Structure 1
């Protein structure tokens, strides 16, 4: 094949690509069903409650949409974990897995463990105790168009913290669409400051 023929083929291919228009997809939604646009930014907050005597922990995950509305809350009990540090890294991994299973393409992972969040933000090979978990988190980034990891103080992660703490006390996990369990709301009400009479 001569260079002139190759040039013609390339030109033909480029002009073909120029002619292709993006197809606009439409979605008809029943008025009775709530639709969450999976392309919009969603935040998954994570936290753990750790029992040092039994080496058990409960991870709590809360999925919030752009408006701050709770889409899902879940808790999972685990045992035989050496440290709270490892538990926090595992909770971050579970947050990403939840984002993948829910089909989100843009995701923010939010937690109050500064070290875990920083390790998730870097691309360096991690040789620490939680290195394998961090590498697993990094390997799952390919499932998203955009993914970010953000640190928040514990005071801004209250729902998730109480969710994990109360689930550890009760010894049970849950998966709830559209909110948090009643025991979390009651615990939050107790923690709010009361005005004097």
Structure 2
């Protein structure tokens, strides 16, 4: 059913990208060029500050924070994504880069769409998605058709949340979204990606 939903919801190219996300039961760590370990090591002090400012979701809800950092000279996006449970334990950390992105606004929308895709793949029962782009969050919350330059991406997001009532979008200031921003920034500088997933199978 999940495979059918993804194939019917997204374009062929996007569906293939979603289905390439490693399944929860198989993955402990997938890293490219040790970037994941290097980034986590270099961010120890900043992570401590992030834990102080970050507020956890209630109960069994999973909170996913995202940010998109844009390189306008090379039309390139780097997305940073972090999910945590109510205890503040990181369940997933993810960053990726994408070329031929037309604007910073589009970068935030694409990063948000990636969060939704990951949330569906992880099969979490209820999700709060937080980002520091108020405009993108409002577009995701709205039920009306978006006719802006990011309308295609917002439409993809709306198609998912129309079928899943377990996703809520909330705005958060940059001061409480620092880890996602750091992941995106470092990924953009190093032009590398990583995927770090906590294993619950044992």
User: Normalized against structure 1, the TM-score is what?
Assistant: 0.68
> Could you tell me which residue of structure 2 aligns to residue 79 of structure 1?
99
> 1:40-59 to 2 correspondence within 5 Å?
40-59=60-79
> Could you tell me which residue of structure 1 aligns to residue 121 of structure 2?
101
The alpha carbon displacement at 1:67 in A equals 1.6
Which runs of no fewer than 5 residues in structure 1 stay unpaired?
Answer: 1-38, 179-197
Please tell me whether the aligned partners of residues 107 and 144 of structure 1 are also in contact (alpha carbons under 8 angstroms): no
Distance 1:64 1:41 in 2: 9
Larger mean CA deviation between 156-165 and 144-153 belongs to 144-153
- Larger Cα Rg: Structure 1 or Structure 2? 1
> 1:64-75 to 2 correspondence within 5 Å?
64-75=84-95
Structure 1: 4+ residue segments shifted above 6 A: none
Q: Does 1:92 align with 2:122?
A: no
Distance 1:50 1:131 in 2: 18
* 2:196 alignment partner, SS class: strand
> Could you tell me which residue of structure 1 aligns to residue 148 of structure 2?
128
Residues 139-177 of structure 1: per-residue CA shift (max 9 Å, x gap):
011453421100011111000000000111111000012
Bigger relative contact order, structure 1 or 2, given CA contacts below 8 A and separation 6+? Answer: 2
Residues 39-98 of structure 1: per-residue CA shift (max 9 Å, x gap):
931111110111111111110110111222111100011000110100100111100100
Distance 1:103 1:142 in 2: 16
* 1:73 alignment partner, SS class: strand
Which runs of no fewer than 5 residues in structure 2 stay unpaired?
Answer: 1-58
Distance 1:70 1:144 in 2: 23
Please tell me whether the aligned partners of residues 75 and 167 of structure 1 are also in contact (alpha carbons under 8 angstroms): yes
Identify which of 163, 168, 190 aligns with 2:188.
168
Distance 1:144 1:106 in 2: 9
Please tell me whether the aligned partners of residues 105 and 143 of structure 1 are also in contact (alpha carbons under 8 angstroms): no
User: Normalized against structure 2, the TM-score is what?
Assistant: 0.67
Please tell me whether the aligned partners of residues 69 and 108 of structure 2 are also in contact (alpha carbons under 8 angstroms): no
Distance 1:125 1:154 in 2: 27
Distance 1:54 1:145 in 2: 37
